[in-house]
Amino acid sequence: MSEIDSRKIRLIIQLRQAGITNTEVLSAIERTPRDLFIPPHFETHAYEDQAVPIGLGQTISQPYIVATMTDVLDVEKSHSVLEIGTGSGYQAAVLSRLCRRVYTIERHRPLLELAEKRFNELKLRNITSLAADGMKGWPNVAGNENSFDRIIVTASVDGEPPVALMAQLKIGGIMVIPVGGQGQNQILRKYKKESEDIYGVQNLMPVRFVPLLPDVPRNNSYSSAELEELTA
């Protein structure tokens, strides 16, 4: 057994001990090489239960948070999932093993280019990615309304989730999103869309995420090669 395999097994055991019992979620995490999504100088931390910087002020979430958010989404094989905040691509890669299709939006184009390279390397063909303003949701999908079975947001909102995202969630669909501004206590929250106007809301656990921001920033002028140098 390789060192990476043994570290991965220890992580899966840790997640089980922390209360993650969904075998499909654990299997998806076990099959997704987190070391591929970690900057080279942090590779030794790839299978530790901690967040890691990935450049441009962004992080890859700790595995327990990834597992919890994935578990709470209650994803099925037939589902179409929208992710806001591709980051390294790790969360999208895990989800891709559980659902029909993942649509993922990242506002930092260099991060998205690196994530797309990883998706290709892993031959994950059911992920569609886009550099755009995630607060506006996915453009031109089924008229932009009731398009997704599940939505996962990997950045925090100060107040209620963006209206565009709520509109793109199917009736009966679930959204998982961190709520709380910078410097505030954040809570991971689950929304279930009961009707066009009624949502069931459940507070899950304290979390800490970077803020969800609008627009596409100017640092998209970085190439993916330059970003790799920034994070090396």
Residues annotated catalytic, as ranges: 61
Q: In the chain, where does DSSP find H-type helix? A: 3-17, 23-30, 63-73, 90-96, 109-121, 163-168, 224-231
Residue 119: both structure tokens together: 């998706």
- C-alpha 146/C-alpha 153 separation (Å) is 17
Give the Cα separation of 165 and 168 in Å (integer): 5
Q: Which residues pair with 186 in a beta bridge?
A: 207
CB neighbour list of residue 23: distance below 8 Å, 6 or more residues apart = none
